[in-house]
Chain A
């Protein structure tokens, strides 16, 4: 337990120091994607369900939050909540439809539904289609703190990240989380033990969707922009990469995975196509040799 506390302390310390070490907007981007990846990991790493449509939650929450803040005049915190709530509702619908199937069929249903969301986002006037929703104001937090200040915005985002991360952490370490792991390991056995497996899966799905939405809504306020990139299936693929690279089924893995992938995209922006090639290479190497991801491999090493 002591090491757990130490790990948390390190995470918090790193987060607090970050805006002084790196470009704050970059750090905020990492945090949003880290939350997204952790939320996705809840579903993939802990429940064993691979969804190909998680971009739908990230993006739709982003659009709703952006619209709420820009057009309807919501405060930033309520706007973000509205976004997360939308994602949760969408997650409930998607989940109910998809849970009936398993494995690759589950993944394909989530993909199909996400593609439809993509199309809706493309067509609805309020999203701005190809141009995206621009000029989203950051507003004042609680009516007092001006979020246009980079540091204020950063600590707000960090607080949201910690909140989301804490929710995931508690979920994983609760009885509910244990049942999820049981479902991942051996679903028929979980059923035979009397658990209503579908209800648990749906709950995990909705939670994962809601937190992905939280990440997406926050991201819109950070960049003051919501665009189709966030609902495109490439985004769904990216979050899989982050989780795989960091370590599926580990707590801190997705955070590292997100940091590396976002860092690679930023750092490699001038490398053009090589970023794609390197990303592909990472996928291949991870699948062949590092299936447990960075954190998983290090943990395994350590256990020896």
Chain B
């Protein structure tokens, strides 16, 4: 075995880069969720379905209306964000006085409806969405071949994430949003239309999900269950980051992508194996831990992290107690 426990330096860089790409996806998806929870106290379980909607609207646009990728990046979030606004006005508004639980259950029900309808219409194998020519091909970085499109995904996600963060944390508009969460009546007394602000904020969060969907369309097949596979992971990211924290979800999203990359490379499993396999009793005790950090367990990594973080820092890494 060469390098670090079966992984060469080159291999490690490759895995980290791939991890960064996945991490930017997690970041932009959890950003939308974090905004909706942090500013509105709504647990938006429909986020995965809205991500899927974003991808499908882009595909439908391309197949039936000849809308190209660049336009789709703008129009799909607007369209799906629009449906978000409708949902908020028609249904979510009635639940604000009640326990968080009901918002969660409502959005969960909506997710089931949306996914069920799309599964009925489109089956499960999914549709293909081609990569736009401007972004096709890639460059050879030496340690790996980086497809241009994936690099674009990282750039686009990070730009949108930090722009959003900046607006919320550093501008006047953002301070209104944050004030609206703390004390809506007071803010309303200042003449700000708080309900409208809330509606638009929910719409924006949903639009972010749709944007991620359009970004995802050329990489993962556009299929009706693409959201439900991701939703609980994204929730975990938001929880670990701290449910009200915008920066927390961005950092945790990227961090998770990187950690997943290391886990998938097998390095951790090999490290634990090298250290404990030959040790008699400890070896068998460590075995389940090793299992939890091996490549096939990469889907569970975030949950392990979540359990650990919540026990040590209950409000999440960047969160504030509510």
- Give the B-binding residues of A (Cβ under 8 A): 50, 97, 100-101, 103-105, 108-109, 111-113, 115-116, 118-120, 123, 233, 237, 240, 244, 272-277, 279-284, 286-288, 291
Contact = CB atoms under 8 A, between A and B. Distances in A.
Task: In the A-B complex, list the 6 residue pairs whose CB atoms are closest, starting with the nearest.
Answer: A283-B109, A280-B112, A276-B116, A277-B116, A280-B113, A273-B120
Contacts of A109: 306-307, 310-311
A146 to B, nearest CB: 39
A244 B98 CA distance: 15
B116 A108 contact: no
Given A109-B310, A112-B307, A119 B109 contact: no
Contact of A123 (B94, B106, B120, B291): B291
Contact of B112 (A108, A118, A272, A279): A279
A101 B319 CA distance: 14
Interface residues of B, number: 43
A240 B104 CA distance: 11
B237 to A, nearest CB: 11
Contact of B111 (A273, A280, A291): A280
Interface of B: 43, 91, 94-95, 98, 100-102, 104-106, 108-117, 119-120, 232, 235-236, 239, 243, 288, 291-292, 296-297, 299-300, 303-304, 306-307, 310-311, 314-315
Contact of A287 (B43, B109, B115, B119): B109
A11 B56 CA distance: 48
B303 A105 contact: no
Most buried by A among B98, B104, B116, B292: B116
A174 B119 CA distance: 47
Contact of B292 (A100, A119, A273, A276): A119
Contact of B314 (A101, A233, A279, A280): A101
B296 to A, nearest CB: 8
11 contacts: A108-B235, A111-B232, A111-B235, A112-B303, A115-B303, A273-B116, A273-B117, A276-B115, A280-B109, A280-B115, A283-B109
Contacts of A113: 303, 307
Nearest to B238: A108
